[in-house]
Structure 1
Amino acid sequence: MDALPSATDIAALLRWYAEAGVDEAIGEAALDRYEATVALAARPATPPASVPARVATAAPPPAAAAPRTSAPARAMPTVPLESPQLVEDARTTAARAESLVELEAAIRAFEGCSLKRLAKNTVFADGAADAPVMVVGEAPGEDEDRQGKPFVGVSGRLMDRMFAAIGLTRERDVYITNILNWRPPGNRTPNLSDVAICVAFARRHIELKRPRLLVLAGGVPAKSLLETETGITRLRGRWFEYTLPDGTRIPTMPMFHPAYLLRTPGGKRQTWIDLLNIRERLDQILAS
């Protein structure tokens, strides 16, 4: 008989699962997806919509009708997950907030994003509430999820050093948030459903904060807030204007996410140029 795995092996396997984002059991019994696919293919085809009237109006045999009404596994919820209704709910909830405090409370109470079910904490913002610069990143990572604050891990420490190099600090000059308020499992890239729901809160966040200058760190915030399909490599280093509902225009600079710079140090030279441009533009704004 094979020996049972040691406690060390089991712990290592559990750590691997956690790092991969596997943090819940779906069911006690395994499902044979191949068998389910074969069974689905063996089902009789549904009659086309254009069948003759005498066939379409004929009463179906009781045996044929039963599977269509008695299969609970095929039942769909009233409002499917990541549906347009949930996007509209997020927009309505965000619009009701009249202050940053109210917006934070609304986000913490919102249950329409599936990411919240797996996250440890809701990550709202950090930094000086009256800071002239607002940074919008992509999503919380493992450290951010654990501490409940954005940009507190390795990439966050790099970002602090980047802004410190141009004389800006989180405590006085920079206010930080993310497009997503909850960590995607395994730190995966946010999908369209995640962003579609959470971007309403991010837009309201900018509207209530009213920064003098906006920095979009990474491709996800740059694409979603500027409403473009252009990649961050082509967007970074260029000035845009983010327009609030009242017509106020905020100078906006997309730049590489610090996590990208950790993986690709060659991008630091371009980012340093972007930081110098941010410092110059901010000085002009504050002097006016």
Structure 2
Amino acid sequence: MGLKETLLALQAIGFTELYFTEGDGGVPQDEKVKKLKELFEKLKSCTRCPLHESRTQVVPGDGNPYSPVVFVGEAPGEEEDRQGKPFVGRAGQLLNRLIEEELGLKREDVYITNVCKCRPPGNRKPTREEIQACNPYLRKEIEIVKPKVICCLGATAGEGVLGKSLKITKARGQVFTYPYDPKIKVLLTFHPAYVLRNPSAEPVLREDFRKLRELLQL
């Protein structure tokens, strides 16, 4: 695949920048882009759970496929379902600020996805069956990106990534090992939407983001 084709492939799945690895001789490392595009094409026709019946569109992951961190949320909301991108509403705006202010990065530098790729009706919490139905896609995304750290935003994200139920008030700030790759660390914290409803929790969320920065060695 040449540079022009790579750019078109990036644009097709929402990427706005090319990333290079040290010593690559100026050749775009587009294998991850190709694999993610193939995965997203499969997602478009997914009927593994009833959520496909009510969705406007599938909302795949978005961002830098070479990111050292993958942020995992719960599921798309109304605005995400409309735009086809994760975390584009008010919670996404807060997440963007935290990425910039606490990590010194931009949204385009990281990879963001959800446990479920389709919006549950009424923005309800996904069921365990829906989480399990979508889990192969999430695992494949993580396998392709191969981050150093997965940051789970909320209890549902933690369940989807770790495969077990956790109380976020007890598990937040803790570091776990990703069950499918022991080299990847998993950090749990509050979902930005929770902090929007409970502003007093923002200092705790920022504390967890500073811990994330330490794990990433930024």
Name the TM tier (shorter chain). Answer: 0.7 to 0.9
* Residues 158-209 of structure 1 deviation map (CA, whole Å, 9 limit, x = unaligned): 100011112021112x100001110000101111221120112111211111
1:170 aligns with: 107
The question of whether the paired residues in 2 share the 8 Å contact of 1:128 and 1:175 is answered with yes
Q: 1:262 aligns with which of 188, 192, 196?
A: 196
- 2-side partners of 1:229 and 1:243: how far apart? 14
The structure whose Rg is larger is 1
- 2-side partners of 1:124 and 1:207: how far apart? 15
Which protein, 1 or 2, shows the higher relative CO under an 8 Å CA cutoff with sep ≥ 6? Answer: 2
SS of the residue corresponding to residue 108 of structure 2 reads coil
2:13 aligns with: none
Q: 1:132 aligns with which of 42, 53, 68?
A: 68
How far residue 229 of structure 1 moved from its aligned partner, in angstroms, is 2.3
Amino acid at match of 1:153: G
Q: 2:88 aligns with which of 127, 152, 173?
A: 152
Does residue 273 of structure 1 match 2:210?
Answer: no
Unpaired segments ≥5 residues, structure 1: 1-97
1:122 aligns with: 58
Does residue 226 of structure 1 match 2:162?
Answer: yes
Does residue 204 of structure 1 match 2:143?
Answer: no
1:187 aligns with: 123
Q: Percent identity?
A: 40
Runs of at least 4 residues off by over 3 Å: none
Unpaired segments ≥5 residues, structure 2: 1-33
The question of whether the paired residues in 2 share the 8 Å contact of 1:223 and 1:231 is answered with no
SS of the residue corresponding to residue 130 of structure 2 reads helix
2:26 aligns with: none
Normalising by structure 2, we get a TM-score of: 0.80
Counterpart mapping for 1:92-103 below 5 A: 99-103=35-39
* Residues 55-91 of structure 1 deviation map (CA, whole Å, 9 limit, x = unaligned): xxxxxxxxxxxxxxxxxxxxxxxxxxxxxxxxxxxxx
- 1-side partners of 2:125 and 2:81: how far apart? 15
How far residue 252 of structure 1 moved from its aligned partner, in angstroms, is 1.1
The question of whether the paired residues in 1 share the 8 Å contact of 2:158 and 2:165 is answered with no
How far residue 248 of structure 1 moved from its aligned partner, in angstroms, is 4.4
- 2-side partners of 1:168 and 1:185: how far apart? 33
SS of the residue corresponding to residue 178 of structure 2 reads strand
Amino acid at match of 2:119: R
